[in-house]
């Protein structure tokens, strides 16, 4: 996944829209007037918390601008979106897309800059809450997370013609690909955690990789924080 230039690969494909551009895009693609825009954290996409007026429903959304690499795979993004909609219909607190003006779940847009990169954009319902990373951990919190995962496992009997698009052999977010993290160790420099990370990777190679075939397969969709069990 290295770009070969010393730059992180995500730096090449990650969108870089400004807040003014977001307001114009939401109006043009979804027909909604934006009251305010706030950037949200993201790894290789670009996310914005937007408040709109005159939607006739919810007034807060997340505009998700998918990186240019994944935007070349509309089948991949579509199956992730359909999985989210499936979970919402099953009663899970899952984001769902607001339709584009032409009734679609997403739209391919150009940034108009050098190279004319294209990004798939979706407007998803905003789910208020506190990220787990900001919650004090406790046995009860871990129990609740495990219980939710079990409910997802039971409910997500999901079928879609493009579900095979989730199978990406060298996908770094696939737990089976932990050994690929070797190429990112440079990001840690020489800090105190590097040795621990190196040990974890080596133990994974020696103890887990030989037994991978006996584990149940699943797919993780980082763009939407979904785990699809297959």
User: Which residues fall within 8 angstroms of residue 52, CB to CB, at 6 or more apart?
Assistant: 26, 32, 33, 34, 35, 59, 60, 61
- Residue by residue, DSSP assigns 177-193 as GGGGGGGGGGGGTT-TT
Which of these ranges, 20-24, 88-92, 226-230, has the smallest mean pLDDT?
A: 226-230
Question: How sure is the predictor about 227, in pLDDT bands with cuts at 50, 70 and 90?
Answer: very low
Mean pLDDT of 94-101: 94
Provide the pLDDT for residue 203.
93
The rounded percent of the chain whose pLDDT value lies above 70 is 82
Count of CB atoms situated within 10 Å of the CB of 107: 17
Q: Confirm if 185 and 194 have CB atoms less than 8 A apart.
A: yes
Task: Report how far residue 167's alpha carbon sits from residue 197's, in angstroms, rounded to the nearest whole number.
Answer: 26
Q: Which residue has the higher pLDDT, 226 or 150?
A: 150
Instruction: Extract the tokens encoding 141.
Output: 């919190």
Give yes or no for residue 221 having a pLDDT over 90: no
Name the range with the highest mean pLDDT among 26-40, 47-61, 112-126: 26-40
User: Which DSSP category does 91 fall into?
Assistant: T
Provide the pLDDT for residue 5.
36
- Cα torsion 173, 49, 10, 161: sign: positive
Q: Confirm if 45 and 74 have CB atoms less than 8 A apart.
A: no
- Domains of the chain, first to last: 9-129 (3.30.200.20), 133-229 (no CATH)
Rounded to two decimals, the pTM is 0.76
Q: What would the pLDDT profile of 103-151 be if each residue is shown by its tens digit?
A: 999 999 987 766 778 999 999 999 998 887 788 989 999 999 899 888 8
């Amino acid at each position: 996944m290295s770009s070969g230039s010393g730059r992180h690969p995500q730096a090449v494909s990650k969108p870089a829209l400004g807040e003014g551009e977001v307001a114009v895009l939401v109006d043009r693609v979804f027909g909604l007037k934006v009251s305010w825009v706030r950037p949200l954290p993201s790894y290789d996409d670009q996310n914005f918390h937007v408040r709109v007026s005159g939607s006739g429903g919810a007034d807060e959304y997340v505009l998700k601008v998918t990186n240019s690499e994944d935007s070349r795979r509309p089948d991949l993004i579509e199956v992730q979106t359909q999985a989210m909609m499936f979970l919402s219909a099953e009663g899970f607190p899952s984001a769902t897309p607001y339709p584009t003006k032409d009734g679609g779940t997403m739209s391919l847009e150009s940034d108009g800059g050098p190279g004319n990169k294209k990004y798939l954009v979706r407007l998803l319902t905003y789910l208020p809450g506190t990220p787990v990373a900001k919650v004090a951990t406790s046995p009860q919190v871990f129990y609740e997370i495990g219980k939710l995962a079990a409910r997802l496992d039971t409910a997500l009997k999901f079928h879609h013609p493009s579900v095979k698009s989730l199978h990406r052999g060298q996908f770094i977010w696939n737990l089976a690909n932990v050994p690929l993290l070797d190429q990112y160790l440079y990001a840690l420099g020489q800090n105190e955690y590097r040795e621990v990370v190196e040990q974890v990777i080596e133990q994974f190679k020696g103890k887990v990789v030989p037994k991978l075939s006996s584990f149940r397969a699943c797919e993780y969709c980082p763009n939407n924080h979904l785990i699809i069990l297959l």
